[in-house]
Structure formats: C-alpha cells, structure tokens
Amino acid sequence: MPRTYARKRLIVCCDGTWMNSDGSTQIPSNVTRMSRCFSHHCSDGTLQIINYQSGVGTGSNMIDSIVGGAFGKGIAERIREAYAFLCTNYSPGDEIVLLGFSRGAFTARSVAGMVASLGLLTAEGLKDFMPIFKDMENWGNKGHKDKSPQRPFSNKPWPLDPTNGDMVKEVAKIYRTRLEEAGLTRIYYEDPAEDTKKLITIKAVAVFDTVGSLGIPQVGWMHRLGFQPSHKEYQFWDTTLSDRIEHAFQALALDETRPPFSPAVWEKSEDDEQQCDLRQVWFPGSHSNCGGGWPDQAIADISMAWMMDQLSSASVGCEFDLDILDRFFQDSQKYSRNLPKSEHPKIPVARQSIQAIKKSIDQETGGFLRPWGFGKIHKKVSAAYTVAGSIIRSPGQYRGINPKDGSWKKEYLQSTNEHIHSSVRVRLQGLGLGLNDAGVWDCPALAEWTVEKCDLDVSEPVVAHPRWVPKTWISEEKDTESIHLSDTAAGRWKWVYQGDKQLHSSTMPEEPLGPIERHLLHTLGKESWDLVESAGDVKSEEMVQPPQQRKDSIREKLGSLWATVRRWTHL
C-alpha cells in the first residue's frame, strides 16, 4: 500500500539584490512581504512551508555586498540552495511554488528549469549533487573537462555539438532518464487516490520584473574590465517557460529605462503539452516600484496585491494571513500621511472632478495620501548604469534572445499573453506625476498604443470570492463592482497598437482587479474609488493617450551605427 503524507505546499521566496528580510532593518520588497503573509495552515488542511532566500549582495560585510549586488556573484549558490530545499522536503503529491524579484526572479526561473531538466533528486542523488550540478552547468560548454567522470555514473551522455540547443535538450533527457533508473531522481510520484503515476510539476512560478537577456542585468563595460560575469556563465540556466510549469505569473514595470534591465518576457512554446497558464501584466513604475523596496510602496502594493490574487486563485490555491497583509497596506498609507508638508508633490490635475476628489481624500484621511495608482515613480540614478544610456520599454514588442551571446533574434515573441493593469489607464487619465515626481506622466512605454473601451471577451481565471476571505470583503467587492467587474464583456478596456510594426498581436487587454486588489482600493476610502470611476467616465474624445510616436524611434533609426560600435567595444 502506498505511503500517504500530509499535503504540503513548498513555497520558495527568492528576494532581489541587496534584499534580506533576515538582516538589518530595511524597506521590504514584495517578496519579503508576501513571504510573511502566507498562512502556515490552509482552510483545506494543506500546510504551507515557506523557504526564504535572501538576495545576492546581502553578505556580512561591505565587500560581499558590493561584489554580490553589483556583479551578480552568489547567484549559483542561491539556485543550489533553493533546489536542494525542494529535493529534501518534497513528498509525493506536494505542490511547489516559486516566487522571485529581480535576480531572485532569475533564481526562481532557474530552479524551475532544474526541476524540468533533472526532476527532484532523491536522498541518494543528493550525495552526488555537485557532480550532477556541474554536468548540467556544462552541457553547452565545448571545452569542459569533467573532474568527476564516474559520478553519478560513468559513460555520461554528452552533446557532440554543445552549441546545438536541440542536441543539448536531448542529452538532458537521456541524463535524466539514467538518473531515474539509478534511483537518483524523481520524475513521477504515485497518487494513491487515483492509483496512478503523475508527473512532478511546478505549480506556479510568480516573479516581479525579471530583467536582463537571461534574467541577469548585464553592463558591457563591466564585462570588459572583468567585473561582471559574461553570458556564458549563465547560459546553462533554463529560464524559459518549461512544460513542467502549470502557472506562470509576471509583473512588469513600464517605466524602467536602464538598458541592462530590459525585461525578460516569457513566451509559451508551441510544444507545451501542459498548456501553461501564462499571465504577464504591465504596471506603472520602475523596476523597484514593481518589486518593492522604495519608501513609497503605493505602486508596489498594487503589483503585490495582483500577484497575491493570481496565487490565491482556485487553480493555485495559496492562502494568506489577511491581518498581516492589512498591516502592510496600513504601513504604506502611514508613510504617505507622515511625510512633511515640504515633501508633498503638487499633483497636476487638469480635470476639476479629479481635483475635488483628491482634496476630499486628503481631508478624510487627515493628511496627504496619494490616490490609488498615483504612487511615486522612482528613477534610480547610478553611475554604473548611466554609462549604459537609457531605453524606453516596449510592451508587446519584444524579441527572443540568443542565450549564447545575449543578442536579439529577428522574430517577435509570440503567445506572451501581456495585459495592461487598470492603474495605468487611471494614472494616465488623472494626469499623475512623471518619474521622480517631475512633470506629468504620459506613459512613454505605451507610445503608439491607444486605450479604448470595448466589448472584449477575456477569460478571468482569478476566482471572485476565495473561500478563505472574510465575508466583509465580499460586501466591499459589491461596492466597487461597477468600476471593475461586469457580467458581460461590455465595458472592458483594451490597448490597441497604432504603429507600423508587424506584431503578432496588436491588442493588449486591460487586466481586471481581483478580490485582494479591490480590498486594497477599499482601504484607501470611497474617494479613491470615485477617482478610479471618474477615469472610466471620460468621453472617448477627451481620453488622454500616450504619445503618438515613440520618443526613441528617431534615435533608434539614426543610432544603428552607434549601437554597432557599442557592441564591438562592449561598452
């Protein structure tokens, strides 16, 4: 008779650079905050076991911090630790959830790739963990010399042409099969309820703004001086969307302009037999607005609430401690109210209705409080990245990456399922402030796109009423239902591409709000709902639209020669 186990959900939380919830006092990222919000016991009896991995650059001294944070040292160690945790704690039928931000997002995606390539090593297999790890690391390395040719077994399969990606994948399958035959890894588990074997999968990978061509920010001049690893050091990590991943969620930042922080957008593969549930949503703000860590967490609250809604959907089933979550929301609002008057931004509001609502919000809360969707967009200034220049992000227009050298492929990505969050439209119509509160935000990343009301039929996988939320939340939903929800497709919004590029999809739907997002809106007061509602009542001819032409389009056309020189010199 098969042995039965208490059902567990193993949740690995991989934080971003210089982020460490176990260390000194600092502003927590969304990964830190979410790791503290997961309930330990779910309403259906499932145990949620949380493993927190601090970000690179969180060493005990300044040298460790600089080397790890700026140059990415220590990432492989984080990946090994996270993977080993899963191997050690997994029991048949357990669910695996991976959460990450920035380089932690790269870690989470890499761990998912390891599970897809190797399965989960058994206790016996973990004895040879490092030789197995090194084999996987070097499948694409033509000049590799195996220092452990007899471990975990002799006559290892090896690609005749390490530069051939298909050949490397085939070798990985053969290697994994031999591990399984030797009892060193687990690919399937026995389901006693159905008396059958099932494939071990990753239930969900949830990431905030994975950046860099391989998930690692790359600065060319650092490579040239030997300060930062090259693409070759990371090319063995599989950060693509594996068919072993059931759900993949990514929150993306519209206003990040550092070229090394170009987003690593996911794409569903044509041979995805599991039909991965992929959702990628764009939010206002920079990299750390999206993933959290700035003193003003207003935008991070929105992206975090969205991610929690995805993970708490019926298909994933994570549960959260809502009292802890509310305290995080209250902390964000307390920061805004406690700002000295000299630091209050003059929010430009051209429409009298919005101006009146903003004044009412401040009066009701007893102090300055940024409305929903109007949090400060931070632009980080760094000498290292200033040399690399700047580039405006381009939703719906990203190409594939050659993992060998980080170069762009000619073809646009397909099946990315990119949506635009409703806070983008609200901020645009409300004339919110630009980067570092300078000027009016015109959403340059969505230049050549227009927002339109439509009858768009889009599936909404997030359950409207999770069984574990308080009944008071359901009444809150009814209060805001007219703003965000509809029984039909009528009254939805979409973004339509008006440029001349031949994209695979010229439409990006607006992402509806889930129950946790609506609760966040509720905590900001009725006036904030009214502001959101007023943004939806603007007449079509009065709608504020992003620029008709991308600001960098002329520079792109005239700067091809300069780009070639930069690649040649690795600047």
453 phi and psi angles, rounded to 5 deg: -80, 145
Residue 505: the pLDDT is 85
Residue in the block written with tokens 């957008």: 265
Q: Tell me the average pLDDT of the chain.
A: 81
Provide CB contacts within 8 A for 225, sequence distance 6+: none
Residue 420: the pLDDT is 98
Higher pLDDT residue, 557 or 273? 273
* Residue pair 28/16 in contact by the 8 Å Cβ criterion: no
**Could you give the CA distance from residue 208 to residue 50 in angstroms, rounded to a whole number?**
18
Range with top average pLDDT, 246-255, 481-490, 552-561: 246-255
Which pTM was predicted? 0.88
Residue 153: the pLDDT is 94
- The 3 state secondary structure assigned to 382-436 is CHHHHCCCCCCCCCCCCEEECCCCCCEEEEECCCCCEEEEHHHHHHHHCCCECEC
- CB half-sphere exposure, 477, CA atoms < 13 A: 18
| Burial readout 449-465 (b: 16 or more C-beta within 10 A, e: otherwise) | bebbebeeeeeeebbee
**Could you give the CA distance from residue 114 to residue 465 in angstroms, rounded to a whole number?**
35
The share of the chain scoring above pLDDT 90, in percent, equals 46
Residue 217: the pLDDT is 57
**Could you give the CA distance from residue 155 to residue 512 in angstroms, rounded to a whole number?**
54
Q: Is the pLDDT of residue 347 over 80?
A: no
Which of 295, 306, 98 lies closest to 202 in space, CA to CA? 98
Provide CB contacts within 8 A for 23, sequence distance 6+: 54, 58
Q: Is the pLDDT of residue 456 over 90?
A: no
Number of H helices, E strands in the chain: 20, 16
Over range 42-64, report the average pLDDT. Answer: 74
Residue 462: the pLDDT is 80
**Could you give the CA distance from residue 286 to residue 300 in angstroms, rounded to a whole number?**
10
Residue 428: the pLDDT is 93
367: confidence class by pLDDT, cuts 50, 70, 90: low
Over range 437-444, report the average pLDDT. Answer: 92
Residue 226: the pLDDT is 45
Residue 191: the pLDDT is 85
**Could you give the CA distance from residue 38 to residue 479 in angstroms, rounded to a whole number?**
27
Residue 458: the pLDDT is 67
Per-residue pLDDT reduced to its tens digit, 380-434: 776 655 666 788 999 999 987 766 666 677 889 988 999 999 999 999 998 888 9
Per-residue pLDDT reduced to its tens digit, 490-545: 568 999 999 989 888 899 999 989 999 999 999 988 778 888 888 888 888 889 99
**Could you give the CA distance from residue 159 to residue 141 in angstroms, rounded to a whole number?**
9
47, burial (CB in 10 Å: exposed 0-12, middle 13-18, buried 19+) = middle
Over range 87-93, report the average pLDDT. Answer: 96
* Residue pair 208/290 in contact by the 8 Å Cβ criterion: yes
Distance of CA 209 to the CA centre of its chain: 4
Helix (H, G, I), strand (E, B) or coil at 202: strand
Helix (H) or strand (E) holding 99: strand 95-101
